[in-house]
Amino acid sequence: MAHKVCAIVNPASGRGSGARALPAIRAAFSAVGVTEVRLTSVKGDEATQTRRAIDEGFDTIVAGGGDGTWSNVANAIIAAGAGRSARLALLATGTGNDFAKTVGSPARDFAATARLAVEGTDTAVDVGRIENKHFLNVSGFGFDIAVLEDIERISWLKGDLLYLYSAMRQLFSYGGVEVGIATARRRREPRRHLMLIVANARNFGGSFRIAPGASVTDGKLDAISILDAAPLARIRLFAAATKGTHVMAREVLVEQSPSFTLEFGEAPAFETDGEYQRASGTQVQIDCVPGALRVVVPG
């Protein structure tokens, strides 16, 4: 069955990569009979465009951007109550593009993505929910936020190298954050963390296999607690995370659960799929929402 497809592209994604890719995107989708390629114009426009496309009867929304754009479109699909009727297809023009690596989407191949959007299969995946916002990939606290803030000050790099460079800059200066973690089964007293990642998917930051045991279909999230460490140990952990072997280090604690309650000394900043957020209070609830979204993937 051929699906009714609308592509929504963020031209600002990847620091302008989305705009530069537009001719190739239009050509790829035109080749399979898709003429609806719409552009976002301001921050948050993905939600407006997605709701409009669903109201117009499109059953496959192609999100052109990176993890942030994909997450914003996914949030709009779920908020519209269309998570099991409208599908999300991933088109990569962003920086990390991490979620596509986990689900096996050929997001960088525009022609393959266009064909899949029209005729391809899909699978139901879990999403995370934090402060009434859903995330596809990860929610991060601590070092992750210091890196995001640093990235905003760097204009001469992009792609995977940008996160790597900023992370190296922060490795020796970031002071850590105190976090307590509770599940339905147990509670951990606050400890100083270098970083806490609550992951739905495996990949993060372009080059890091942060949660190698995570699955988007198991109904659980993976909390990866990287405890504070001396500078040389931080370098070792940083290098190991590119291979996913950091989870074997004594400074790293891994726990799987359908939900986590996090406790902080003050309302923390955090990120969801690379987008900067600020919590409303010192206690943060994070839940897995099983099978909440259909994502187009190769059969």
**pLDDT tens digit string along 25-56?**
999 999 999 999 999 998 889 999 999 999 99
Sequence-distant (6+) residues with CB within 8 A of 24 are 110
Residues present in the chain in total? 299
Sequence-distant (6+) residues with CB within 8 A of 143 are 167, 170, 174, 176, 194, 195, 226
Annotated domain spans of the chain:
5-119, 135-291
Cβ atoms of 103 and 297 closer than 8 Å: yes
Residue 69: predicted pLDDT? 95
Pairing type for strands 87-92 and 60-65 reads parallel
Cβ atoms of 228 and 194 closer than 8 Å: yes
Q: Long-range contacts made by residues 79-84, C-beta under 8 angstroms, separation at least 24?
A: 79/47, 79/51, 80/50, 80/51, 80/54, 82/54, 83/292, 83/293, 83/294, 84/124, 84/291, 84/294
The one-character DSSP state at 12 is: T
Domain 135-291 -> CATH class:
mainly beta
Residue entry with tokens 């999403």 = 127
Residue 1: predicted pLDDT? 62
Residue 83: predicted pLDDT? 75
Task: Return phi, psi of residue 96, to 5°.
Answer: -80, -45
Residue 199: predicted pLDDT? 98
Q: Which two tokens stand for residue 64?
A: 């052109």
What's the predicted TM-score (pTM) here? 0.92
User: What is the rounded distance in angstroms from the CA atom of residue 43 to the CA atom of residue 10?
Assistant: 9
Residue entry with tokens 């309302």 = 267
Task: Return phi, psi of residue 261, to 5°.
Answer: -115, 120
* Structure confidence by residue, pLDDT tens digits, 236-251: 998 999 999 999 999 9
Low-confidence ranges of the chain (pLDDT < 70): 1, 158-160
Residue 160: predicted pLDDT? 64
- For the domain made up of 5-119, give the CATH fold: Rossmann fold (3.40.50)
Residue 206: predicted pLDDT? 80
Residue 38: predicted pLDDT? 97
If DSSP states are collapsed to H, E and C, what string results for 209-243? CCCCCCCCCCCCEEEEEEECCCHHHHHHHHHHHCC
Residue 150: predicted pLDDT? 82
User: What is the rounded distance in angstroms from the CA atom of residue 139 to the CA atom of residue 270?
Assistant: 7
Cβ atoms of 70 and 63 closer than 8 Å: yes
